[in-house]
Amino acid sequence: MNDFSEIKISRRGLLKAGAALGSVPALGLAQTASGDTAAAAAAPVMAKVSFTVNGQLRQLEVDTRTTLLDVLRERLQLTGTKKGCDHGQCGACTILLDGRRINACLSLAVMHEGAQITTIEGLGTPARLHPMQAAFIRHDGYQCGYCTPGQICSAVAVLDEIKRGVPSHASASLTEQPLLSADEIRERMSGNLCRCGAYSNIVDAISEVGGQS
């Protein structure tokens, strides 16, 4: 029988021994995970995509994991489209894709080969404002302005939805033409958050443009 009564170890020695033993499994795992498996996990998958943005054909090679929002902001320098929550909850990244509004942060760029994309920069310019942009200015439909590009893109789409007869939860009927009412506008714009609280002015701006169309 072994006699351990004479073995003595300091606290520091015990900690060193424990650390050494603890690293053994990790080293073994690192060795088994080396080679092709590690390289494949690190390498991005690239793909070519082309779409028309604000009337201009853009051809890019992108990481297939890249969102449309990041391509617009980082690759095309169209920074009017804002990154707010990056989870599709605030609406700051709303753009028009083939005429309909989407949250660009929730959509991968490679999903939209051949699409027609309009950002806030494509709606109007300082010298030639879109009617909705001009209405937001007249009605003071913004304060800090961060959410405004998404609000305006969404507002343009809202009027188009009503014109096409697309119902909302506020519509009285699923088959009759929706009315341009404050309730309809609030319901349809509910996905665009304004932390400054300019909602009533936004409704007034949309109502004005809708009444003119």
Residue 157 pLDDT exceeds 90: yes
* Contact by Cβ (8 Å): 150, 192: yes
- Please report the pLDDT score of residue 4 as a whole number: 47
- Among the candidates 102, 123, 144, a domain finishes at 123
Mean pLDDT of the region 89-117 = 98
Task: Tell whether 6 is covered by a domain.
Answer: no
The C-alpha atoms of residue 31 and residue 96 are separated, in whole angstroms, by: 49
Residues 174, 139, single domain; the answer is yes
Residue 52: domain span: 44-123
- Please report the pLDDT score of residue 42 as a whole number: 72
Residue 10 pLDDT exceeds 80: no
Task: Tell whether 5 is covered by a domain.
Answer: no
The mean of the pLDDT values for the chain is 88
Residue 199 pLDDT exceeds 50: yes
**More confident call, 4 vs 130:** 130
Mean pLDDT of the region 108-133 = 97
The C-alpha atoms of residue 29 and residue 40 are separated, in whole angstroms, by: 17
Is residue 191 exposed (0-12), middle (13-18) or buried (19+ Cβ within 10 Å)? Answer: middle
Q: What percent of the chain has pLDDT over 90?
A: 78
Residues 162, 148, single domain; the answer is yes
Task: Tell whether 54 is covered by a domain.
Answer: yes
Radius of gyration of the chain (CA): 27
Residues 171, 109, single domain; the answer is no
Task: Tell whether 3 is covered by a domain.
Answer: no
- Domain at 150, CATH number: 1.10.150.120
Is residue 20 exposed (0-12), middle (13-18) or buried (19+ Cβ within 10 Å)? Answer: exposed
Mean pLDDT of the region 89-112 = 98
Residues 143, 157, single domain; the answer is yes
- Please report the pLDDT score of residue 212 as a whole number: 74
Task: Tell whether 4 is covered by a domain.
Answer: no
Nearest by Cα to 101 from 167, 149, 67, 165: 149
- Among the candidates 73, 106, 123, a domain finishes at 123
Segment 21-42, tens digit of pLDDT = 555 444 444 455 555 555 556 7
Residue 209 pLDDT exceeds 90: yes
Mean pLDDT of the region 152-177 = 96
Tokens read off for 96: 């028009």
Residues 98, 132, single domain; the answer is no
The structural domain count of the chain equals 3
Q: Positive or negative CA dihedral for 188, 194, 199, 204?
A: negative
What 8-state DSSP symbol labels residue 63?
Answer: E
Mean pLDDT of the region 112-125 = 97
Nearest by Cα to 94 from 43, 156, 18, 165: 156
Residues 57, 75, single domain; the answer is yes
Residue 197 pLDDT exceeds 50: yes
Exposure string of 27-60, with b = 16+ CB inside 10 Å and e = fewer, is eeeeeeeeeeeeeeeeeeeeeebebebbeeebeb
- Please report the pLDDT score of residue 147 as a whole number: 97
